């Protein structure tokens, strides 16, 4: 049987936009896919299984299970991919899946379609364009650091955004994509921070809007100058004339405020490689002293 990839992709984009609309998310803002899933009645769980990216389990309590051992951008894409299986009503009985385990891999239209769905859900064209336009960046000439900034705003990986813009949106040429992908991620982060950076770094400048800054304990956030944190989940670890750097220190929810700019956003911190129900991922630690 042959499948028209264009038709599958078109259906996936329509479904992604419909899902966003249904959950009340504007097209020009990023989404937290886990919040969106819970909003439409799908439970999210993180689970520390090394050889799995994610699974969708249907039934009366539809659930998506995501490996807690992957980088956050990849987890978000997997979450959106599994949510795609839910909205398209995909799934097979466990026994059938086990039988298929030994079958040779071939093009799977369902998998292609939910990948397209995930791309459109997390990176709608309007949101991607807006991410660059707000900063005054031209996608043909701007730096890898600019792409990285937009990727962290959208909550996806750097290479995921570039591939999406190359293949799905078709707004950057293969040569440009190759150039951008050649830069090592650690170099990009270090350039943004002005010193070596081995931790995951989120860039939340004063154009950040539409969703909370979600990080894991020990992740860094590059904030506008003069930013302060309300709450105990993150602390300012560096402050100078051009940058403020914050770090997640304990699970919880707080707020980042820049008084001079009248700008603020929520910051949510989860445990490193958190394994558990999505709804408890920012649950504060409780002092266990009896």
Partner 1 sequence: MKVTTHDQRAQIASRLRAAREAAGLSQGQVAKLMGFHRPTISEMEAGRRRVSAEEITKLAEIYGVSVEWAMSKQSDKKDPVDEKISLAARELSKMKDTDLERLMSLIRMLRKSERKK
Q: Nearer Cβ to partner 1, position 45 or 164?
A: 45
**Rounded to whole angstroms, how far apart are CA atoms 221 and 231?**
15
- For the stretch 146-150, contacts whose Cβ atoms lie closer than 8 Å and that sit 24 or more positions apart, written own/partner, are 147/180, 148/185, 148/188, 148/189, 148/192, 148/203, 149/192, 149/203, 149/205
Q: What is the DSSP letter of 249?
A: -
Q: How far is the CB of 22 from partner 1 (least distance, A)?
A: 18
**Rounded to whole angstroms, how far apart are CA atoms 213 and 247?**
12
Residue ranges binding partner 1 (CB under 8 A): 41, 43, 45-47, 49-61, 63, 65, 81-82, 85, 90-94, 97-98, 100-103, 105, 108, 110-111, 114, 271, 274-277, 280-281, 283, 285-288, 290
Q: Nearer Cβ to partner 1, position 206 or 275?
A: 275
Q: How far is the CB of 274 from partner 1 (least distance, A)?
A: 6
Q: How far is the CB of 142 from partner 1 (least distance, A)?
A: 33
Q: Nearer Cβ to partner 1, position 60 or 138?
A: 60
Residue 266 pairs with which residues in a beta bridge? 255
Q: Nearer Cβ to partner 1, position 41 or 262?
A: 41
**Rounded to whole angstroms, how far apart are CA atoms 124 and 230?**
31
Q: How far is the CB of 19 from partner 1 (least distance, A)?
A: 16
């Amino acid at each position: 049987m042959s499948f028209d990839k264009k038709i599958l992709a078109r259906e996936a984009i329509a479904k992604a936009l419909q899902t966003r609309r249904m959950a009340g998310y504007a097209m020009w803002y990023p989404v937290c896919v886990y919040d969106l899933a819970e909003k439409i009645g799908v439970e999210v769980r993180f689970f520390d299984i090394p050889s799995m990216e994610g699974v969708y389990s249907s039934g009366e309590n539809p659930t998506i299970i995501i490996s807690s051992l992957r980088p956050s951008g990849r987890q978000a894409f997997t979450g959106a991919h599994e949510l795609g299986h839910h909205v398209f009503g995909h799934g097979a009985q466990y026994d059938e899946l086990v039988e298929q385990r030994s079958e040779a891999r071939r093009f799977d239209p369902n998998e292609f379609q939910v990948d397209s769905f995930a791309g459109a859900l997390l990176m709608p064209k309007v949101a991607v364009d807006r991410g660059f336009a707000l900063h005054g960046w031209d996608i043909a000439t701007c730096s890898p650091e600019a792409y990285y900034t937009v990727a962290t705003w959208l909550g996806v990986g750097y290479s995921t955004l570039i591939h999406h813009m190359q293949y799905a949106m078709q707004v950057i040429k293969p040569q440009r994509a190759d150039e951008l992908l050649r830069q090592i991620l650690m170099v990009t982060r270090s350039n943004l921070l002005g010193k070596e950076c081995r931790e995951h770094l989120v860039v939340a400048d004063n154009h950040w809007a539409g969703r909370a800054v979600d990080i894991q304990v020990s992740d860094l956030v590059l904030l506008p100058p003069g930013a302060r944190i309300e709450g105990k989940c993150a602390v300012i670890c560096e402050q100078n004339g051009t940058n403020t750097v914050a770090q997640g220190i304990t699970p919880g929810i707080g707020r980042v405020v820049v008084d001079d700019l009248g700008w603020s956003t929520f910051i949510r911190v989860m445990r490193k490689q958190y394994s558990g129900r999505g709804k408890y991922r920012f649950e504060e630690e409780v002092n266990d002293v009896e």
